[in-house]
Structure formats: structure tokens, C-alpha cells
Amino acid sequence: MKQTESASSALRRLRVILVQTSRPGNIGSVARAMKTMGLSDLVLVNPRFEGACQHEEALAFASGAQDLLAGARVVDSMAEALQGINFTAAVSARLREFSPPVVTPREFAGQLAANGELHAALIFGNERFGLPNDIVEPCNVLVNIPANPDYSSLNLAQAAQVLAYECRMAALDGQQPASPVGFQGEAASAAQIEGMYQHLEQALVDIGFLDANNPRKLMPRLKRLFARAGLETEEVNILRGIARQMTARRRQD
């Protein structure tokens, strides 16, 4: 993080995304957790009830953070939710075979505080089902809260509070990350990286390396590989150029 950047500026680079939330009270509680730590960017993806931000229970649980609810956006897709984001973090207690690199809340917060180019999103899933693999796998990191292994159950708002607190402390302290992201150029956006994955997948099908009818685990493994790299915009463009040449050469043959 640049020395001249204030803590509030760093926190403005962080978005909280709630996916298919079932309980309006949880949305209100997350808004309260965010506001106490200086976060304000809240996006809801397909909440499971109408009028999520105006629901009586949500307003009651917000307890003074109703302004944050009023400013929240409700969208229909992850693509909309991730507009303007170049670093994505899925929050989950369940580790996956093909998850991106796993970090603690403190490590994530340190990355955000140390790199002023990051515009990050914390993605929380449904209270009962969590996040599906197709949302987790393209993320840059998976944030896992190191809770008591004998009882690791945190509700949605509690998990959001832990993450918001760590991000605030890192922003205030200028904490250095445990595993620095190390971007030198402009970090690629989530939309750019997803477009690259689609382009690369089609190129691999075109050259016969990937069987579209039996893809197995190739693309999840590649997504995990690239998530560790922390792709820049120019690097995404290079990879798409390679995919373009693969397809063109195949057609010439």
C-alpha cells in the first residue's frame, strides 16, 4: 500500500458480495459488520427473496447501517457483481480439490493493504450450501478462517466481521502480506481472466488437447495454476494471443 493512501481509501477498494442469501437478517447483519469496520461496497447476487435491502428483518438487523443497505446493489450474475474487480477471494470453510491458493483472513488483508492496485472482492455463499465450485475455482484465493476444527461453524455475519476486522487492521497498520501478490503491471480484471479461460478452453478443444465431451479436470487444474500466478492484463493478452494462434494454426492444417 502506498504510504500516502489512507486506511479509508484502502477499504474503499474492497467489495463484499453475498451470493443467493436466504435470510434477510443476515444481509442486515453483514451490513452492520461492514459499517463498523469502514466498508461500504455491498453487492447481492440473486438473493432468495424480493426486496432484500428493504426487508423489515434486514433493516432491523442492520442496526444503524441502513444507509449501507440503501446503497447496496442487487444483480443477476457474478459477472455483474465483479465489474471493476481484479482480485477475487472466495470465503469458505470447505476446502476443494481444485480450489485456488488457500489463505487466512490476515494474509488476504495484508495483500489488500500492501497493493494499492488491487480492487478486491470477498465472496460469501448461501448460508446452507456455501459457494458452488464454478464460483470458487476462478477466484485468485480461497479464504479459510482457521477456526476450532472440532466446531468451525461461523454464521455469515460472523465470517464477514472477521474478514472486515482483519482488513481494517491491515489498512491501519500498513501490514505487509505473508505471501505478496507482486503485481508489476495492471492487475487483470475478473472479466478479463474469465474471457481468457473461455478462449483458452476453445483453443484446447480446437487442437484436440481437450475433449469437450469428456473434459475431466483439465480446466479446473488450469484455473488453479493461473490463480497462483496473479495475472496482469498484459499477461492475459499474451495468453489469448497464444490461444488465437493455436486455433489459427489448427485451421491451416
pLDDT at 182 over 70: no
Note the pLDDT tens digit of each residue in 101-113: 999 999 999 999 9
The reply to whether 2 falls in a domain is: no
235: CATH:
1.10.8.590
Note the pLDDT of residue 210. 85
Q: Which domain holds residue 137?
A: 7-173
14-19 β-sheet, strand order: 73-75, 41-45, 14-19, 120-124, 87-91, 141-143, 102-103
Residue 174: per-residue pLDDT: 62
- Do residues 44 and 117 both lie within one domain? yes
Q: State the Cα–Cα distance between residues 174 and 1, nearest whole angstrom.
A: 7
Place of cell 466498508: 39
pLDDT in tens, 197-221: 899 888 888 888 888 888 788 888 8
Q: Where are the beta strands (DSSP E) in the chain?
A: 14-19, 41-45, 73-75, 87-91, 102-103, 120-124, 141-143
* Per-residue model confidence as pLDDT tens digits over 15-69: 999 999 999 999 999 999 999 999 999 999 999 999 999 999 999 999 999 999 9
Same-domain check for residues 221 and 161: no
pLDDT of residue 56: 95
Give pTM, 2 decimals: 0.77
Whether residue 227 sits in one domain with residue 156: no
The maximal CA–CA distance of the chain, rounded, in angstroms, is 66
Please compute the mean of the pLDDT values over residues 158-164 and round it to a whole number. Answer: 97
Q: Are residues 128 and 159 both part of a single domain? A: yes
Which pLDDT tens digit goes with each residue over 219-250? 888 888 888 888 888 988 998 988 888 888 76
Q: What's the DSSP call for residue 189?
A: P
C-alpha distance from residue 131 to each of 30, 52, 183 (Å): 17, 19, 27
Q: pLDDT tens digits, residue range 76-107?
A: 999 999 999 999 999 998 888 778 999 999 99
Whether 2 shows a pLDDT value over 50: the answer reads no
Residues 227 and 160 placed together within one structural domain of the fold: no
